[in-house]
């Protein structure tokens, strides 16, 4: 995720510390035992908030009818964006999240199976 790279770069520039993507992901998903300072945690949360707002802005600029449709964010990244997007759920007719990290792969497998059985 581009946001993680940006967050890592900011933390490295501020503290000189390399924070692995896994640590950022664990913190954002509420896992305990992640060793980050309060300043690093704040950098992570504010970085994800900025990324989330930027992504929403890009989507809404497309003028697609998000406010009158069912919107589904899926995959591991959806869990990270959920708290940010729920604050602005009024932009969406219905907003759901599927956190399963393998959901994309499972969906493609199902699609491929259906295509192959039609042949």
**3 and 51 Cβ atoms separated by less than 8 Å:** yes
pTM, rounded to two decimals = 0.73
pLDDT above 70 coverage of the chain, percent: 88
Q: Which residue range(s) make up the domain with 87?
A: 2-118
Q: Output the CA torsion sign for 88, 71, 93, 60.
A: positive
**What's the DSSP call for residue 75?**
S
Q: Is the pLDDT of residue 109 over 80?
A: no
> pLDDT-based confidence at 34, cuts 50/70/90?
confident
CA 5 to chain CA centroid, nearest Å: 13
Element (H, E) at 94: strand 94-98
**8 and 19 Cβ atoms separated by less than 8 Å:** yes
Q: Which residues pair with 95 in a beta bridge?
A: 71
Q: Is the pLDDT of residue 41 over 90?
A: yes
pLDDT of residue 119: 53
pLDDT of residue 37: 92
pLDDT of residue 28: 86
Total domains in the fold of the chain: 1
pLDDT, averaged across the chain: 85
pLDDT of residue 83: 83
């Amino acid at each position: 995720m581009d946001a993680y790279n940006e967050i890592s770069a900011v933390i490295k520039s501020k503290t000189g510390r390399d924070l692995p993507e896994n640590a950022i992901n664990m913190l954002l998903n509420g896992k305990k035992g992640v060793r980050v300072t309060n300043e690093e945690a704040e950098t992570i949360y504010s970085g994800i908030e900025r990324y989330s707002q930027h992504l929403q802005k890009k989507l809404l600029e497309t003028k697609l009818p998000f406010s009158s449709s069912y919107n589904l964010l899926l995959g591991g990244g959806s869990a990270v964006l959920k708290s940010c997007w729920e604050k602005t759920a009024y932009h969406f007719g219905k907003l759901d999240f599927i956190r399963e990290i393998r959901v994309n792969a499972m969906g493609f497998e199902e699609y491929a199976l259906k295509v192959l059985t039609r042949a």
